[in-house]
Amino acid sequence: MDETEYAIEAHGLRKSYGAVPVLDGIGLEVPRGEVFALLGPNGAGKTTTVRILATLDRADAGQVRVAGHDVVAERALVRRRISLTGQYAAVDEQQTGAENLRMMARLTGLPRAHSRERAAELLDRFGLTAAARRRVSTYSGGMRRRLDIAAGLVGSPEVLFLDEPTTGLDLHSRHVMWEAVERLAASGVTVFLTTQYLEEADRLADRIAVLDGGRLVARGTAAELKRRFADHRLDLTFTDAESRRLAAERYAVRVVGGRARDEGPGGGADGPRGPRTLSLATDGSAAHVRALLDEIDPERRTVSRFELQGATLDDVFLALTGHPAGHRAEGEWELDAEGEVAGHV
Nearest CA among 289, 294, 267 for reference residue 278: 267
Parallel, antiparallel or unpaired: strands 69-70 and 190-195:
unpaired
The domains of the chain are located at 3-226, 232-310
- Using the Cα atoms of residue 54, residue 48, residue 59 and residue 12 in order, give the sign of their dihedral: negative
| Run of H or E including 11 | strand 6-17
Rounded Cα distance, 245 and 238, in Å: 9
Rounded Cα distance, 153 and 159, in Å: 10
Size (the chain), residues: 345
C-beta of residue 59 within 8 angstroms of C-beta of residue 13:
yes
Rounded Cα distance, 10 and 6, in Å: 10
Conformation bin of residue 2: beta by default, left when phi > 0, alpha when psi is -120 to 50 = beta
Q: What is the CATH number of domain 232-310?
A: 3.30.70
C-beta of residue 209 within 8 angstroms of C-beta of residue 218:
yes
- Note the pLDDT of residue 255: 39
Q: Amino acid letter at 89?
A: A
- Using the Cα atoms of residue 172, residue 175, residue 181 and residue 187 in order, give the sign of their dihedral: negative
3-state secondary structure 162-199: EECCCCCCCHHHHHHHHHHHHHHHHCCCEEEEEECCHH
Nearest CA among 195, 177, 297 for reference residue 247: 297
Contacts of 147 (CB under 8 A, 6+ apart): 89, 91, 97, 100, 101, 126, 128, 136, 139
- Note the pLDDT of residue 171: 85
For residue 96, the 8-state DSSP code is B
| Run of H or E including 238 | strand 232-238
Contacts of 334 (CB under 8 A, 6+ apart): 42, 43, 328, 341, 342, 343, 345
Nearest CA among 111, 46, 27 for reference residue 339: 46
Alpha-carbon 173 to chain mean position: 17
Contacts of 344 (CB under 8 A, 6+ apart): 331, 333
- Note the pLDDT of residue 256: 30
C-beta of residue 239 within 8 angstroms of C-beta of residue 304:
yes
Per-position pLDDT tens, the chain of length 345: 444 589 999 999 999 998 889 999 999 999 999 999 999 887 889 999 999 999 999 999 999 999 999 999 999 999 999 998 876 667 899 999 999 999 999 988 889 999 999 999 999 988 899 999 999 999 998 899 889 889 988 988 999 999 888 887 888 888 888 888 898 889 899 999 998 788 889 899 999 999 988 999 889 998 888 777 767 778 899 999 888 888 877 765 343 334 444 444 333 333 444 578 887 777 788 998 898 888 888 889 999 999 888 767 777 776 676 655 555 443 333 334 333 333 322
Rounded Cα distance, 254 and 252, in Å: 5
For 3-226, give the CATH class: alpha beta
Rounded Cα distance, 219 and 210, in Å: 6
C-beta of residue 341 within 8 angstroms of C-beta of residue 19:
no
- Note the pLDDT of residue 251: 63
